[in-house]
A and B are shown apart, each in its own frame.
Chain A
Amino acid sequence: MTRLKTAILIGTAALTLTACAKKRPAVLPPAPTETPATTGQTGPGGPIGNGVVPGSDADFQRSVTSNTIHFGLDQYDIDPQARAILDSQADWLQRNPNVRITIEGHCDERGTREYNLALGDRRANATKNYLAAKGVAPSRMTTISYGSERPIALGSDEAAYAQNRRAVTIVLN
Chain B
Amino acid sequence: MFRKTLTLALLLGAAAAMAQEPAAPTPPPAPQTAAPGQASLPADDQAGGLIVDVEGGTSQPTPIAIPVMPTPAVVQTPAGATDTLGRQLSEIVANDLRNSGLFTPLSPGQLRAVSFPEVTAPAFDYWRGTSAQALVQGYIRANADGTLTVGCYLYDVSAQRELVRQGFVVPPADWRRAGHKCADTVYSRLTGEKPYFDSRVVYVSETGPKGKRVKRLAIMDQDGANHRFLTNGQSIVLTPRFAPNQQSIVYMSYENDRPSIYFYDLGSGRPRRVVQNANLTFAPRFSPDGRWILFSMAVGGNTDIYRVSSQGGTPQRLTNSPGIDTGGSYSPDGSRIVFESDRSGGQQIYTMNADGSNQQRISFGGGRYATPVWSPRGDLIAFTKLAGNFRIGVMSPSGGGEKLLTNSWSDEGPSWSPNGRVITFYRSGRGAGGAAQLWMVDLTGVNERRIPTPLGGSDPAWGPLRP
Contacts and interface: CB of A to CB of B under 8 A. Distances in A.
Q: How large is the interface on A (under 10, 10 to 19, 20 to 34, 35 or more residues)?
A: 20 to 34
A154 B301 contact: no
12 contacts: A76-B301, A112-B412, A112-B413, A114-B296, A114-B327, A117-B282, A117-B283, A117-B296, A125-B301, A150-B212, A151-B210, A154-B431
A118 B323 CA distance: 10
Interface in B205-219: 209-213
Given A113-B239, A118-B298, A155 B431 contact: yes
Contact of B347 (A112, A126, A146): A112
Contacts of A124: 301
A124 B302 CA distance: 11
Nearest to B210: A154
A145 B282 CA distance: 11
A115 B324 contact: yes
Contacts of A144: 257, 259, 280
Contacts of B459: 113
B220 interface: no
B281 to A, nearest CB: 10
Nearest to B328: A114
A33 interface: no
B347 A115 contact: yes
Interface of A: 74, 76, 109-115, 117-119, 121-122, 124-126, 129, 144-146, 149-152, 154-156
Nearest to A76: B301
Given A126-B301, A154-B210, A154-B211, A115 B326 contact: yes
A152 B432 CA distance: 11
A74 B368 CA distance: 12
A156 B431 contact: yes
B324 A118 contact: yes
Given A117-B283, A118-B298, A152-B211, 9 more contacts: A76-B301, A111-B386, A113-B371, A115-B324, A119-B324, A126-B301, A144-B257, A155-B432, A156-B430
Contacts of A155: 431-432
A152 B252 CA distance: 22
A154 to B, nearest CB: 4
